[in-house]
Amino acid sequence: MKRLFPWIFVLITLSLAGIIFIQVNWIRNAISMRKDQYDQRMLEVLDSVRNDIVNNKHPDKEGGGYSAKSTFNSSMGNIFPGFPPQEAIPVPFRYNLAEIHQIISQNLHLQGFEVPFQFAVISKGPLYSTYELRTSDFPVWFADSIRHKQFITYLVPTQTSLSSLLSTNQEMLYLIVPADSYVYILRSMKWIISGSVIFTLIIITAFALTIFAALRQKKLSEIKSDFINNMTHEFKTPLATISLAVDAIGNDKVVYDKDKIRYFSGIIKEENKRMHRQVETILQSALLDRQEIKLNPKPVNVHEIIEKNVQNLELQLKDREGEIRLRLNATNPILLADEVHFSNMISNLLDNALKYSREHPVISVETSNHKKNLIVSVEDNGIGMSKETLSRIFEKFYRAHTGNLHNVKGFGLGLAYVKAIVDAHEGKIKVESVVGKGSKFEIFLPQRQEAKA
């Protein structure tokens, strides 16, 4: 698995990079194609505007005679019907500025364009050009060719026709729009781009979750290996001790010596207790995994449970020349709790304080009442913990670095079990620690009315 994981990571990374590269290029090509379509459709808009103006189509009606302002055309039309042709009459005589603006707006809207624009109708003769109609900002936009784009069409046909015979001038329509067409293009492609981005993010998220799961699985595999190694060591030592004690009892020199038999029997008993504690720890871990911690709450005296657990540590304390200082100051030590789990919790805290202390350990156990809580604190003068360790001490199988302490044994389950039991009793646990000075665990447990003595 260790050798395979880097290859999995590399292959998934290359696949993801390839998908993103293809998506980006596809979107880039699509934008380029839409940009070409933008110019083509803008020319189609201009052509439609030209046809509307040449054919005298007004915004409010199609065809229907000349503009009321064209008095010249009205009088001539009464004398010579159909003469002159409508396209030969200058645009200002047929349309005002607002009407042309509306015609352009309508045609832009029909093509799906919602862009600002400026326009002008210019009369172009052999020697000069003049504005016939123009919007206010047209000269500014016309001069700024970098930020604006021009589209031009002839309103008066350039080929030989009746209109060209009557007029030597040519009328041209200039339409100017912003040169940055990306706003329109992106708006027209918003669903495509949004979908592409969303699915790419989904793929990235799936990739991240896959890597996270693989890393977690790798970490669990390492933890499992460490756990099996620790468990093997923890069971191997007492079994070896028991085996040696049994062999000693069977020795001819010992079999008739009651004192030695009693001594070796005591060793076997202590090692058996040690193995029993390890088995209980593993069973507790199984309960934590399945979240099947079931409490049997009843009123218990916390002081009695603490004193009982302290007595169980007397031999270990004596062997290490240590002491436990009891300050059981709680005026009401009665708590509604599961006696077995609560006792195991106190035992784990005391055992933890003893294991991570140097020579001559000093452990302080204190109780007090505050408002509606019973507070139990366990403080030691051990090696302390760093901030990183403090953030992880309640994780299953996590074991802190012990520095120069090489004889610290365990599975890394004790504090995870303590946290689970505190949570099951609806309490809180607080930890303070200074590296090199020691640690302090404070447990806050709610006292209910039915638990009062």
Q: What pLDDT is attached to residue 224? A: 74
Q: Are residues 372 and 312 in the same domain?
A: yes
Q: 337 with 448: CB under 8 angstroms?
A: no
Domain boundary among 224, 257, 288: 288
Distance CA 117, CA 151 (A): 11
* DSSP assignments along 392-431, one per residue: TTTSTT-----TT-------S-HHHHHHHHHHHTT-EEEE
Q: 73 with 91: CB under 8 angstroms?
A: no
Q: What pLDDT is attached to residue 180? A: 66
Q: Are residues 46 and 151 in the same domain?
A: yes
Distance CA 399, CA 223 (A): 10
Q: What pLDDT is attached to residue 274? A: 73
> Over the chain (453 residues), what is each successive 10-residue block's mean pLDDT?
72 82 82 77 87 76 42 46 60 86 89 85 78 89 86 69 54 84 67 80 84 80 72 75 84 81 84 77 67 80 92 80 90 90 88 83 92 91 86 76 50 78 90 89 84 52
CATH number at residue 349: 3.30.565.10
Cα 284 to Cα 228, 291, 429, 442: the distances in Å are 16, 10, 19, 22
Distance CA 244, CA 82 (A): 129
* DSSP assignments along 335-381, one per residue: EEE-HHHHHHHHHHHHHHHHHT--SS-EEEEEEEEETTEEEEEEEE-
Gyration radius from the chain CA atoms = 46
Domain boundary among 288, 321, 341: 288
Q: Are residues 308 and 390 in the same domain?
A: yes
Cα 307 to Cα 154, 246, 255, 344: the distances in Å are 106, 33, 38, 13
Cis upstream peptide for 84 (omega within 30°): yes
Q: What pLDDT is attached to residue 70? A: 43
Q: 309 with 339: CB under 8 angstroms?
A: no
Q: 104 with 119: CB under 8 angstroms?
A: yes
pTM beyond 0.85: the answer is no
Q: Are residues 154 and 221 in the same domain?
A: no
Q: Are residues 17 and 54 in the same domain?
A: yes
Q: Are residues 342 and 366 in the same domain?
A: yes
Domains in the chain, number: 3
Q: Are residues 168 and 77 in the same domain?
A: yes
Taking alpha carbons only, the member of 214, 213, 210 closest to residue 1 is 214
Query: Which residues constitute the domain of residue 207?
Result: 190-288
Q: Are residues 329 and 423 in the same domain?
A: yes
Cα 416–Cα 418–Cα 423 angle in degrees, nearest 5: 95
- The H or E element containing residue 272 is helix 258-290
Q: Are residues 161 and 271 in the same domain?
A: no
Q: Are residues 81 and 177 in the same domain?
A: yes
CATH number at residue 214: 1.10.287.130
Taking alpha carbons only, the member of 33, 14, 28, 27 closest to residue 197 is 27
Residue 171, judged by CB atoms within 10 A of its CB (0-12, 13-18, 19+), counts as buried
- The H or E element containing residue 131 is strand 129-134
Cα 50 to Cα 83, 119, 258, 407: the distances in Å are 21, 13, 124, 95
Domain boundary among 188, 217, 237: 188
Give bridge partners of residue 121 from the DSSP assignment: 133, 173
Q: Are residues 180 and 201 in the same domain?
A: no
Q: Are residues 322 and 445 in the same domain?
A: yes
User: Which distant-in-sequence residues (6+ apart) come within 8 Å of 31 by Cβ?
Assistant: 182, 185, 186, 189
DSSP state of 105: H
Distance CA 105, CA 109 (A): 6
